[in-house]
Amino acid sequence: MVPYCIFCSILRTLSSDYLLFRYKSGTFVPLKNYLNRYTMTQNSATKTNGEVPNNYALCIKGDCPKAATCLRHVAMAMMPAEVQRWSIVSPAYLAQMEGECPMYRSAEKVRYARGFVRMMSAMTVHQAHVMKDGIIATFGMAMYYRMRKGTRLITPIEQETIYNLLEQQGITERPAFDAYTEDYLW
């Protein structure tokens, strides 16, 4: 069996026309769903075009009452002129929509954490081992190492999940992550 990390890189390089399924834990999973899940868990800080991530759906509806506070509309204004193609929310979908927009994302910046090496080194060996197992069970091994080293930003929701794992270990004090940064919640 091919190791998981090599398997992921092979799947990303091949077209879904050639591979329709992948084998995991005795079952076949459709490849398209797997690739969608994989890209959703990629680092939210991976950006091109200045600040806007690749393939982030932009909103072109200027008459929307929430346009000034919607990240999709604000991101459209941030796109540089040399970008030839954008992903946008369908204008037909926006025209038929009534009530609250399900595509709305707040343009308010949030506080991301970066790394938790110091947090883990301050724990006892047993606590650190159980924490590592809990984080790997929640996010996966590759994600654990990227989050721990700080190569992947940790969202506020993921920070809460890690703090909940700490509370399960009896650690009531919320230790600080290695560093913090503010950015949009893409």
Q: Are residues 85 and 135 in the same domain?
A: no
Q: What is the pLDDT along the chain (186 residues), one digit of tens a residue?
A: 444 444 444 444 443 333 444 555 555 555 443 333 333 333 444 454 347 887 889 998 888 888 899 999 998 888 888 888 888 898 888 888 888 888 999 999 999 999 999 999 999 999 999 999 999 999 999 999 999 999 999 999 999 999 999 999 888 889 999 999 999 988
The range of the structural domain enclosing residue 177 comes to: 109-184
Q: Are residues 133 and 91 in the same domain?
A: no
Q: In Å, how far are 135, 136, 145 from 119, measured between CA atoms?
A: 13, 16, 14
pLDDT of residue 129: 94
E strands within the chain?
21-24, 27-30, 109-114, 179-184
Q: Are residues 135 and 171 in the same domain?
A: yes
pLDDT of residue 35: 37
Q: Are residues 156 and 101 in the same domain?
A: no
Concatenated DSSP letters of 40-100: HTS-TT---STTSPTTPPB---TT-TTGGGBHHHHHHHHS-TT-----B--HHHHHH--SS
Q: Are residues 96 and 114 in the same domain?
A: no
Q: Are residues 126 and 160 in the same domain?
A: yes
State the Cα–Cα distance between residues 151 and 184, nearest whole angstrom: 17
Q: Which of 107, 122, 154 is the last residue of a domain?
A: 107
Q: Are residues 91 and 152 in the same domain?
A: no
pLDDT of residue 37: 38
Which token pair is 48? Answer: 């091109």
Check if the beta carbon of residue 186 is closer than 8 Å to that of residue 154.
no
State the Cα–Cα distance between residues 44 and 53, nearest whole angstrom: 8
Q: Are residues 94 and 118 in the same domain?
A: no
Q: Are residues 174 and 160 in the same domain?
A: yes
State the Cα–Cα distance between residues 35 and 38, nearest whole angstrom: 5
Q: Which of 107, 140, 159 is the last residue of a domain?
A: 107
Q: Are residues 74 and 120 in the same domain?
A: no
pLDDT of residue 19: 40
State the Cα–Cα distance between residues 110 and 180, nearest whole angstrom: 10
pLDDT of residue 23: 52
Q: Are residues 33 and 49 in the same domain?
A: no
Number of domains observed in the structure of the chain? 3
State the Cα–Cα distance between residues 75 and 150, nearest whole angstrom: 25
pLDDT of residue 27: 55
Q: Are residues 148 and 123 in the same domain?
A: yes
State the Cα–Cα distance between residues 159 and 132, nearest whole angstrom: 14
